[in-house]
Amino acid sequence: GNDSAARGNTSKRVVQSIETEIGGITQAASSFTTDCPFFRVYMTPSYVNSKYMPLPITFYKEHLQGLRGITLQVSNSKKKWPVNLNPYDTSVRMTGVSKFLSESSIKIGDICFFELINKKNYVLKVTITSEE
């Protein structure tokens, strides 16, 4: 039989997987729950080495529209780091994060959860989970 038409029907699934690509989901990561809006970032070598982190454009449009900066705070610390937001058409980059990355000991393979805990001062609480 001619089943090539059926095989060409994978494009829908591809689109769905792009959303989850941002955070290589593991068991530890999928058990994270919060009432605040949040997104997750799987720390790849390019983020750690290039000193930037992605922020989903959907999250930006919904919660941070128009902002050019935000504050990061690690969940178990009082320390805060100001970072820049650089919005593009389809993505947003958090830049100026090198101090945050080194001082919070983030490594390649870590998964960072960013929760919007303070909508007035725009503070994102960061929870870092390691693969191990």
* 32-87: pLDDT as tens digits: 888 999 999 999 999 999 989 999 999 999 999 999 999 999 988 889 999 999 99
Topology (CATH level 3) of domain 38-130 = At1g16640 B3 domain (2.40.330)
**Cα 8 off chain centre by:** 31
Residues 6+ away with beta carbon under 8 Å from 55: 39, 64, 85, 91, 92, 93, 94, 114
The pLDDT value given to residue 9: 45
Parse the chain into domains and list their residue ranges. Answer: 38-130
* 5-23: pLDDT as tens digits: 454 444 444 444 444 444 4
Q: Which two tokens stand for residue 66?
A: 């128009």
The pLDDT value given to residue 63: 96
